[in-house]
């Protein structure tokens, strides 16, 4: 089994809309994510997952210049990731298809992780 990272991207607009949901609607959205992730875990394929906070810093270049970021003005935001084990990239893509981010026209980037020896 190889490891793959699913990187979740959504628009700044959808992120703002999520923040303005009622507590009940927000819980319903979180439940959808929990069911999808739970299904991957039940198959023994979940390695790890986390959502990303909206705050942070960007460190850039050889001089390590620090700026505020990520920028909410961005068209797309990386909102989280999931790492899983799968037999092929096709299987990882198939597992990604249940992700609730598609309901808000978001995207999932599926990337193989390189193994540098364990």
pTM of the predicted protein model = 0.85
Q: Find how far residue 72's CA is from the centre of its chain.
A: 17
Domain boundaries, the chain: 2-112
For 2-112, the fitting CATH number among 3.30.70.1060, 3.30.300.30, 3.40.50.450, 3.30.565.10 is: 3.30.70.1060
In angstroms, the CA 92 to CA 2 distance is 10
Contact (Cβ atoms closer than 8 angstroms) between residue 105 and residue 34: no
In angstroms, the CA 79 to CA 9 distance is 6
Contact (Cβ atoms closer than 8 angstroms) between residue 77 and residue 11: yes
Full pLDDT tens readout for the chain, 118 residues:
999 999 998 876 666 677 788 899 989 999 999 999 999 999 999 999 998 887 888 899 999 999 887 665 566 778 899 999 999 999 999 999 999 999 988 999 999 999 887 6
């Amino acid at each position: 089994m190889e490891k793959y990272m699913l990187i979740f991207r959504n628009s700044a607009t959808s992120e703002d809309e999520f923040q303005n949901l009622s507590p009940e609607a927000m819980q319903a959205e979180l439940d959808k994510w929990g069911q999808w992730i739970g299904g991957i875990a039940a198959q023994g394929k979940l390695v790890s997952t986390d959502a990303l906070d909206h705050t942070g810093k960007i460190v850039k270049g050889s001089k390590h210049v620090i700026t505020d970021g990520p920028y909410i003005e961005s068209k797309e935001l990386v909102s989280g990731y999931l790492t899983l084990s799968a037999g092929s990239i096709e299987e990882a893509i198939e597992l990604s298809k249940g992700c609730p981010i598609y309901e808000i026209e978001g995207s999932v980037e599926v990337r193989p992780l390189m193994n540098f020896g364990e």
